[in-house]
Amino acid sequence: MGRSTDGWVALLNEQDDEHLARGYTIMLNVALAVFALFTTLCTVTLLSHSPASASAPKERIALMLSGLRCREVQQTLETALRQTDGVFAVDGSSVPEHLLIDVEEGKTSAKDILTVAQTTLGIARSCQVELMQSCITASTHIGAPAPAR
């Protein structure tokens, strides 16, 4: 059955020096590989659960609010949007009856943000929310061609 510690020592003592060195090298490589794999997995996991990355390109999504109860529910709406994955910031004061939401480009979409807003407001909505689209909706990238609308 199992060997005692002394037995392993005895076995090791039987190896010649070259064999011993090769064994240590293999063990060290395996340990390093396991450590690297573990570190990578941790990093990926952390990133997938962290808020929007500060250095990632941002995109601004504008929601238009209309209805008698919008002022009452705006704070709730802003809080829900701030807690949404990929959202950097929510500005509810710069433009009346609008929310300006800065998101990480590619991590969430205007449609996702609209869904979060509509879900937060519930089915019987006395405050309507929709995506702001107008003749001044424009592309933001340097050198990007004008959008075809």
Rounded distance, CA 122 to CA 115, Å? 11
Minimum distance between the CB of residue 108 and another protein, rounded to whole angstroms? 14
Minimum distance between the CB of residue 138 and another protein, rounded to whole angstroms? 5
Contact footprint for another protein (CB under 8 A): 54-55, 57-60, 62, 94-96, 98, 100, 102, 132, 135-140, 142-147
Q: Among residues 2 and 143, whose Cβ is nearest to another protein?
A: 143
Minimum distance between the CB of residue 66 and another protein, rounded to whole angstroms? 13
Enumerate residues 6+ apart whose C-beta is below 8 A from 86: 52, 103, 104, 107, 108, 112
CB 138 within 8 A of CB 71: no
Q: Among residues 60 and 107, whose Cβ is nearest to another protein?
A: 60
